[in-house]
Amino acid sequence: MFAATELSITILFLAATVSYSSAEINLSFQSVTAQQFRTRRFACEVTGENFVAWETPSREASHGQPAIESKNITVGQSSGRVSVERTGNNSYYTLVIVDVTVSDGGKYTCRGSNESKSFTLKVDFLIHGVKTPQRLTYGMQDGTIELGVSAHPPPQYQWRKDGQLMTFPEDGKSIDLYSGSIKITRVGIGDQGNYTCRVVWMAGKPRETEDTVDIEVLVVGSHSIIINSVDFKSLQ
């Protein structure tokens, strides 16, 4: 047992020594969590081979969001808010993302002429500027209770209306799995109330993130519709 451990330590040591002397891409992280609207830099060390490009994530269209195409970005190039700089002792190729957004989340690959290494960028949610109260129009109209809170990978949304846990889809209500907003087909008087949404993001492991937002929803309608409905009741 002891001898085996000692042997494997020796092998590890040899492996580390050998690979250090040959061509290598050194990325000292496999996963990084970023906050939205920050600028983040990710250094990739390339030794003994040529740097080719940083490859950005690709994503299939989902939850009503368009597909994202992967791009190869090399030194001095940029694509929107993403660029690559050569830094340090000229052996660091640094990926720079200005104003990180949820759509930046995914797998990035530092590609050399011989080897490549990847890391996953996770983007934490931010509860920011959620409106309250929100007004929905009564009648034959669809309405949305706007939340607009997203993350990569997506968080979980737990909605309550007047303290009661809601499930989706139910009663013509569905949830938008990208933003957490509730879509209502045919807004009714019963949709008025105090809503809370608890947003839980497990991807922040070992520390999960969570936050809760309160939204008061008022149902408004034109006078004629309300008078008509009162008239209708009094006729019965």
Ligand X SMILES: *[C@@H]1O[C@H](CO)[C@@H](O)[C@H](O)[C@H]1NC(C)=O
Give the interface with ligand X as residue ranges (CB under 6 A).
20, 22-23, 26, 28, 45, 48, 53, 55, 70-72, 89, 111, 114-115, 192-194, 216, 218
Q: How far apart are CA 154 and CA 203, in angstroms?
A: 9
Longest dimension (CA), the chain: 93
Q: Which is nearer to ligand X, 10 or 70 (CB)?
A: 70
Sheet with 116-123: strands ordered across:
31-34, 116-123, 106-112, 51-55, 72-73
Q: Which is nearer to ligand X, 203 or 219 (CB)?
A: 219
Q: Closest separation between CB of residue 191 and ligand X, Å?
A: 10
Q: Which is nearer to ligand X, 22 or 202 (CB)?
A: 22
Q: Closest separation between CB of residue 169 and ligand X, Å?
A: 23
Closest residue to ligand X, based on beta-carbon distance: 23
Nearest to 72 by CA among 52, 86, 99, 101: 52
Q: Which is nearer to ligand X, 53 or 175 (CB)?
A: 53
Q: Closest separation between CB of residue 16 and ligand X, Å?
A: 7
Q: Closest separation between CB of residue 235 and ligand X, Å?
A: 28
Q: Closest separation between CB of residue 135 and ligand X, Å?
A: 11
Q: Closest separation between CB of residue 162 and ligand X, Å?
A: 7
Q: How far apart are CA 174 and CA 181, in angstroms?
A: 9
Q: Which is nearer to ligand X, 36 or 196 (CB)?
A: 196
Q: Which is nearer to ligand X, 30 or 234 (CB)?
A: 30
The strand pair at 31-34 and 116-123 is best described as parallel
The strand pair at 31-34 and 173-175 is best described as unpaired
Q: Closest separation between CB of residue 126 and ligand X, Å?
A: 25
Q: Which is nearer to ligand X, 36 or 134 (CB)?
A: 134
Q: Are 129 and 107 contacting, i.e. CB atoms less than 8 angstroms apart?
A: no
